[in-house]
Amino acid sequence: MGENRSVTVFGASGHTGRFVVAELRRRGFVPVLSGRDPGKLRAIGAGLDVRPATVDDPAALDLALAGAAAVVNCAGPFATTAAPLVEAALRAGVPYVDVAAEIEANVDTFTHFADRAREAGTVVLPAMAFYGGLGDLLVTAALDGGTAADEVHVAYGLSGWQPTPGTRAAGAVSHDRRAGRRVRYTGGRLTYHDDAPSPALSWPFPEPLGERPVLREFSMADLVTVPSHLAVPEVTTYMTVAAATELAAGAAESAAERTAETFLVHALVRAGGVERRAVARGQDIYAVTAPLAVEAVHRILTGRTRTVGVASAGALFDAAGFLRSLAPRLDFELETVTAGTAAR
């Protein structure tokens, strides 16, 4: 890596943004704090460069990125923020990373910036977060160098899910953009449906969870990231019923309770009659997004990537090596078995 360790964090005063700022500092980077509220930025930025900006002010965004080696966008809804920040990153000639879990926003990034980012020879990495990035890395690691699968399943076993205001706002935008319909990745493409939700199923999580009821087609950004670089006709994501119920109930916000929440993400890939599995265990889905995003920035800036342009984590990095590097913040393991049963 060169001497420039300055990284702009847009949305630095938000819940996830604060984790990213802290992780950058822990890793020896110098965060530049940006976002729309100067007061909130200054409150967390003792001794740090504070550069307020809004997404409707290109000149302010250019100033926020001036001299930085990369930018991390932590400000949702990403349907609003991603495109202006990618544009600013392209003007500055620096890599862009975001933590978007919004399916439609991620589709927009892949659709609208693929050619320009590739021509610029830079990296645009959407969904480098718990949802989208982690699942994609697990699936890619499970394939162990393979580039195709018959079907992919990613099951989320959360002990609870108290969404932040930003998560709720982003979810509302996605809900409105799809007119309340549910999303599937089937037949090799994203499809939208109004039919009745599938009943709860039982998913065989590894220990310590074991069999748990899950909701099928609880659609996450994995539906975009995984098939962006792997030839797979069917991608399905699942969520434990308990976490989905808590999310729907709009539980009261509590940072301490979020920190205590644990997760187990179970990726199952079927390819050529073989079933491969990858598992990640950890605590606090918001906090773990920070090491995911910052490790991505570090690898991009040190040239440990496999491509340029708009690409998901699985396409850019050595997936298994990336996941192992996150220990002890994340426990990762692989298992290969003959074809079996997923949810039922």
Q: Which pLDDT tens digit goes with each residue over 256-275?
A: 556 689 999 999 999 988 99
| pLDDT for the residue numbered 251 | 55
* Architecture of the domain whose range is 131-287+330-338: 2-Layer Sandwich (3.30)
- pLDDT 10s digits, 210-255: 999 999 989 999 999 999 999 999 999 999 999 998 888 765 555 6
Cβ–Cβ < 8 Å for 219, 104: no
Residues 6+ apart with CB under 8 A from 98: 72, 73, 74, 78, 81, 82, 85, 109, 125, 126, 127, 128
What pTM did the predictor assign? 0.95
Distance CA(322)–CA(317), nearest Å, equals 7
* Closest residue by Cα to residue 287 from 99, 41, 117, 106: 99
pLDDT band at 168; cut points 50, 70, 90: confident
Distance CA(145)–CA(124), nearest Å, equals 22
Q: Retrieve residue 172's tokens.
A: 């509302």
Using H for helix, E for strand and C for coil, what is the string for 231-257?
ECCCEEEEEEHHHHHHHHHCCCCCHHH
Going from N- to C-terminal start, the domains of the chain cover 6-129+289-319, 131-287+330-338
* Closest residue by Cα to residue 74 from 147, 11, 2: 11
* Architecture of the domain whose range is 6-129+289-319: 3-Layer(aba) Sandwich (3.40)
Helix (H, G, I), strand (E, B) or coil at 307: coil
CA distances 281 to 61, 170, 189, 267, 326, Å, are: 36, 25, 29, 12, 11
Q: Retrieve residue 137's tokens.
A: 């890395």
Mean pLDDT check: name the lowest of 244-253, 312-321, 330-339.
244-253
- pLDDT 10s digits, 185-203: 999 999 999 888 888 899 9
Say yes or no: do domains 6-129+289-319 and 131-287+330-338 share a fold.
Answer: no
Identity of the residue numbered 41: L
